[in-house]
Structure 1
Amino acid sequence: MAYYKNSTKRHWVEQISTSIKTKPSTVDDSEFNSKEKNKLCIVAVPKCFFKENPEAYKPQKLGLGPYHHFRAEVYQMEWEKVAAVKASLNEEQINNFDVLVVDKLKDLYVSIQEHYGNFFDMDVNTFAWMFAIDGLFLLVQLYHMQKEFVSDIMMLENQIPFEVLKALQTYVSSVKDNEDDGLLSNKLVRFCEAVSPLELAKESQIRGGASCQLHLLDLLYELIVNKVAKEQGNHELLSRKKKVACINDIKASVRERFPSCFSCRSLLGQIRFMTSTVFGAAWHMFSRKEEDLAEDEKINAQEIRIPSVSLLHDVMNVEFKVVQGGISSIEFSKEHLIFYLPTIIVNENTEVILRNLVAYEATRVKSCDILQFAEYVDLMCGIIDKPRDVELLRKRNILKVQDDMDDEEIANLFNGIKKSTSDRKRQHGLDKAVAKVNERFLNSTQVKVYRFMQKYVYNSWKFLTFCATVLILIFTGFQSFCDVYGCSDHFFAE
């Protein structure tokens, strides 16, 4: 644990002395508090997330920053980090490392401390050396990414403020400041594109650009939630609506000229639909295992209430299609029974990145704000229950699987993430899509028949079995009577 209890009295005197000598700020308290909240961006993962899966939030190989740098389990990487940093510097920079890097970082002590809040408590010299090594190592990873460190780098408690990265880039780079800032921004965005499970917005779509964000996880979050659908994003849906309208016009015209054909055809169609619906629902209910039925009917408090992919596909013939434009473009068409979802890449780093983005979003927003990303994760966890759900989404390119993960592994991944949006007052547009799905599903004829049969047939199965047994005994006795006395002569004589 990196909560430093070894702060000396001399360090306390230095802090008090600096505080006394500092001129009072002219801003009011509300503005000051607002700025402090904005700067406080690297906090401990809330316990409600951490206890669910500690390994997803605690670095396994690489410790960066005050939370995990000195943790015994990852400290063995220290000399590998030093070796990587030395390899990225020239001889002059190595020989004058104290003056060129460490001493200059000390000027950022107070500013960087604000990013960590009360957790941050170490002497200036330790601070400067720690961030010099960790920051330069992270810069090395931005240029030459090692896949084995991606999960650890993207964890909330392992974030390094961009303020440190920009300062270090300036200290060790030979280019001008404005060119240097542009180069760093480009590398940050490229890194996010390489590790992101979702399609990202362009850098120009986020306020201030990449280097003006707080840290790497913050940048990835902004690039994901600010991905906006292009004007032609729903072109396919609009085109489909036009085609359907055209077909309906043709059918109406033919119906006017040949009404008798359509009256007979309509009657046969209704009979066929009712028959197939009733028998289809009955077959769907009785062909499944009893434990599957219980699982579908039970409201799982750990996930949002929404039918799974396979249930929507089998019962309602819902189609699943890829939509461009990120999580803000998710939509369900009740008219055409199409669920539009963005493509998500699933690999060995996906769970860690999803979990830490959700945790970061929870720490950065107010209680009345919308949890856009958490709602998306809740949606995916709600519609994916079994390997077959994964298979259906994978075949439609909504899930792109890497690292040879099988369908069961992916289903377990999404089932292991609990919902985190239940207590929010405001909800994003995703909640509207979920409401549409549930409304259309619960009001469908198939589901109504299914629920009716389950309520009045399945729950009365013991009674019906008893009645059937009695009838069988009666008919068996009647048949035996007929074999002995000849029923045809006594009951069916003309």
Structure 2
Amino acid sequence: MASTNSLVLSSPPSTTNNLQQWLNNFIKTFYNHLHLNTNLPICIFQLPQTLTTQKPNSYTPQHIGLGPIHHFETNLYTNQQQLKLITSKTILAPFINTSQFDTIVQDHLVGIVPLARCCYDVYFDINDECLAWVLAIDALYLLDIMSKVTNGLPYKSFEDVFMVENQIPLVILVELLNALHLELNGDIDSSNLSSLLVKFCETRSPLKITTQETQLDLDVCNMFHLLDCMYHLIVNYRLPPKNPFLRTNFLMDVHLEDVENVVQIAGGLFPGANAILQPIKLILKLPWDKISVLVKKTLGENDTMMEINIPSVSKLSKIGKIEFSSTPGGIHDIKFDEGNLTFFLPVLELKSDSEVILRNLVAYEELMFKKETFTNLDFTEYVDLLCGIVDGVKDVKILREKNVIEGDMSDEEIVKLFNGITKSSVKNDGKTSELQKTISKVNTYYSNIPRVKAFNFIKKLFLATWKILAIVFSVMSLVLMVVTGVCEVYDCKGQFGLGNARFIFGYATGNNELTDF
């Protein structure tokens, strides 16, 4: 069979025959789009390398290819095509004679293939009938997986089913089920598919999406595919409105006296201290903001942070005395109670396939945000938060003790997971989300702790000083080596006193240590 690359045509081919074929398909697609009355956006993507290079196996199906992007991949097609056909026969048996299925494909699915094409960000160089069969077989296979799992049967390839590139448009599932039920002189109850999707997502969702008291409604007509259902069930889940259960902030801000005042007080208490403290006062008056910019430019530092700016769980707990507690809500219910010093986080259940699901949910949200279909980056910001507060095993253990993290993934694997996801570079158009405000509250409280404030000041002061000194000594060493080399040729050591200078800076010319900054 053809490979995936032969199905995708993003630019005109070089040969005349292929160019004519491309033109015919393009004209047909153009008129299909022109006459389609749909609000379906692009929602199934071929992921860019900027997302997949970090961990390709998390985005490329390893066992089962669903939909035209991966259906014809050689390794997946060879291993799974026969299984798909057997599964199709099994799932069709209660409805119709399987020999009649070609009529259903022709009468019901071929006509909506142009609609399904609108969901993909690439054009597939196969005719509508072929694409209809691909989507029909894969849709039946997906329905079979969801039915078995919701009935308690095991399945091993959850990772593949929730990948961005492996999605089947729900419009195909709805039309297929409608056609099958029409053969039984009935009609499909859309809540059946809705319930199936919710139950299936619930079995694999890393975050809570339903409770025993409240069953979330899922409008299938407004969902795009399975991953989109999972995304909206997670992001839209929150505690029902009620009286605020968090106490009003009554913690007074703790202010540390300016270091200059501390220097003056210390000078009055300890005679002779001024001799030591005066240079520090002089250093404080230097324009460190301008110096910092100069140092960054000189050393070629990158301003982009790889992780969100927030202390780890262990630091917040040990130094900030902040308690962590689970909330029965979702990511919109993340709160920092400044009065009780409690950080409320939703329960995160991590399983063997959770990393793939988390990564693909983030990728999906970012791509939909770039297409301006989504207006917020709620899930991405939540994952960024976890990447920021989980640095080591100690952090995971604290969150486990507080029932914030559950599941069978080991502590080491969780640390590796959240240390392996880079902070999102997608900009949120300058808007400040509620989660960002919460993180800001945590950072403000933590940075105002006297111990932390003093440490940050000293760290900033001496780090900047050390970098400046490193540059100065590097330049001095370079100049000294050049002058020494010249004088060795022209015998001018005695004139400039370089004999003593070389003795003083011998390590610079001998070991070259100062030139290695």
Q: Compute the displacement of 1:370 (Å).
A: 2.2
Q: Compute the displacement of 1:325 (Å).
A: 2.1
Bigger drift between 142-151 and 430-439 goes to 142-151
Q: What are the superposed Cα offsets for residues 166-221 of structure 1, whole Å, 9 maximum, x if unpaired?
A: 11112333667654322111101111111111112689866x71343110111111
Q: Secondary structure at the match of 1:316?
A: coil
Structure 1's 367 and 315: CA in aligned 2 closer, same or farther, altered over 3 A?
farther
CA distance in 2, matches of 1:86, 1:354: 33
Q: Secondary structure at the match of 1:120?
A: coil
* Corresponding residue of 2:418: 414
Q: Find out whether 1:434 has 2:439 as its counterpart.
A: yes
Q: What are the superposed Cα offsets for residues 381-433 of structure 1, whole Å, 9 maximum, x if unpaired?
A: 1000101100000111100122xx22111110111111115633223211011
Q: Compute the displacement of 1:89 (Å).
A: 2.0
Bigger drift between 64-73 and 208-217 goes to 208-217
Q: Secondary structure at the match of 1:320?
A: strand
Q: Find out whether 1:381 has 2:391 as its counterpart.
A: no
Alignment partner of 2:346 out of 338, 342, 345: 342
Q: Secondary structure at the match of 1:128?
A: helix
CA distance in 2, matches of 1:323, 1:451: 32
Bigger drift between 183-192 and 422-431 goes to 422-431
Q: What are the superposed Cα offsets for residues 265-295 of structure 1, whole Å, 9 maximum, x if unpaired?
A: xxxxxxxxxxxxxxxxxxxxxxxxxxxxxxx
CA distance in 2, matches of 1:189, 1:44: 25
| 1:319 partner amino acid | E
Alignment partner of 2:365 out of 361, 368, 372: 361
Structure 1's 428 and 201: CA in aligned 2 closer, same or farther, altered over 3 A?
farther
CA distance in 2, matches of 1:396, 1:356: 27
* Corresponding residue of 1:333: 337
* Corresponding residue of 1:164: 172
Q: Compute the displacement of 1:301 (Å).
A: 2.1
Structure 1's 422 and 439: CA in aligned 2 closer, same or farther, altered over 3 A?
farther
Q: Compute the displacement of 1:103 (Å).
A: 4.8
Is this contact kept in 2: 1:371–1:427, CA < 8 A? no
Q: Compute the displacement of 1:153 (Å).
A: 0.4
| 2:317 partner amino acid | H
Alignment partner of 2:316 out of 308, 312, 320: 312
Structure 1's 177 and 196: CA in aligned 2 closer, same or farther, altered over 3 A?
farther
Bigger drift between 371-380 and 141-150 goes to 141-150
Is this contact kept in 1: 2:145–2:155, CA < 8 A? no
CA distance in 2, matches of 1:329, 1:123: 47
* Corresponding residue of 1:189: 198
* Corresponding residue of 2:306: 302
Q: Find out whether 1:352 has 2:356 as its counterpart.
A: yes
* Corresponding residue of 1:46: 48
Structure 1's 108 and 24: CA in aligned 2 closer, same or farther, altered over 3 A?
closer
Unaligned runs of 5+ in 1: 246-297, 462-494
CA distance in 2, matches of 1:367, 1:70: 27
Kindly report which structure 2 residues correspond to 1:439-454, keeping only aligned pairs within 5 A, or say none: 439-451=444-456
| 1:393 partner amino acid | L
Q: Secondary structure at the match of 1:147?
A: coil
Q: Secondary structure at the match of 1:332?
A: strand
Is this contact kept in 1: 2:313–2:389, CA < 8 A? yes
* Corresponding residue of 1:67: 69
| 2:220 partner amino acid | A
Structure with greater proportional helix content: 1
Is this contact kept in 1: 2:207–2:234, CA < 8 A? yes
* Corresponding residue of 1:108: 112
Kindly report which structure 2 residues correspond to 1:449-464, keeping only aligned pairs within 5 A, or say none: 449-451=454-456
Structure 1's 56 and 154: CA in aligned 2 closer, same or farther, altered over 3 A?
same
Structure 1's 17 and 128: CA in aligned 2 closer, same or farther, altered over 3 A?
closer
Q: What are the superposed Cα offsets for residues 95-153 of structure 1, whole Å, 9 maximum, x if unpaired?
A: 22211335532111211111114333311232122111101000101101243121100
Q: Find out whether 1:78 has 2:81 as its counterpart.
A: yes
CA distance in 2, matches of 1:204, 1:112: 29
Q: Secondary structure at the match of 1:52?
A: coil
Structure 1's 452 and 108: CA in aligned 2 closer, same or farther, altered over 3 A?
closer
TM-score by length of 2: 0.68
CA distance in 2, matches of 1:449, 1:363: 42
Bigger drift between 10-19 and 190-199 goes to 10-19
Structure 1's 307 and 57: CA in aligned 2 closer, same or farther, altered over 3 A?
same
CA distance in 2, matches of 1:460, 1:352: 44
Q: Compute the displacement of 1:46 (Å).
A: 2.9
CA distance in 1, matches of 2:243, 2:174: 36
CA distance in 2, matches of 1:85, 1:177: 21
| 1:54 partner amino acid | P
* Corresponding residue of 1:267: none
CA distance in 2, matches of 1:460, 1:163: 62
Q: Compute the displacement of 1:58 (Å).
A: 0.3
Q: Secondary structure at the match of 1:340?
A: strand
| 1:229 partner amino acid | L
Structure 1's 320 and 176: CA in aligned 2 closer, same or farther, altered over 3 A?
farther
Is this contact kept in 1: 2:88–2:140, CA < 8 A? yes
Is this contact kept in 2: 1:142–1:191, CA < 8 A? yes
Is this contact kept in 2: 1:40–1:116, CA < 8 A? yes
RMSD: 3.4
Q: Secondary structure at the match of 2:325?
A: strand
CA distance in 1, matches of 2:410, 2:240: 33
Is this contact kept in 2: 1:361–1:371, CA < 8 A? yes
* Corresponding residue of 1:222: 232
Is this contact kept in 1: 2:202–2:210, CA < 8 A? no
CA distance in 1, matches of 2:148, 2:461: 64
Structure 1's 99 and 439: CA in aligned 2 closer, same or farther, altered over 3 A?
same
CA distance in 1, matches of 2:166, 2:90: 23
* Corresponding residue of 1:128: 132
| 1:210 partner amino acid | V
Is this contact kept in 1: 2:335–2:344, CA < 8 A? yes
Q: Secondary structure at the match of 1:341?
A: strand
Q: Secondary structure at the match of 2:69?
A: coil
Q: Secondary structure at the match of 2:209?
A: coil
* Corresponding residue of 1:149: 157
Q: Secondary structure at the match of 1:39?
A: coil
Kindly report which structure 2 residues correspond to 1:177-326, keeping only aligned pairs within 5 A, or say none: 179-200=188-209, 209-232=219-242, 234-235=244-245, 237-238=246-247, 301-326=305-330
Structure 1's 359 and 438: CA in aligned 2 closer, same or farther, altered over 3 A?
same
Aligned residue pairs, count: 393
CA distance in 2, matches of 1:459, 1:112: 57
Q: Compute the displacement of 1:333 (Å).
A: 1.8
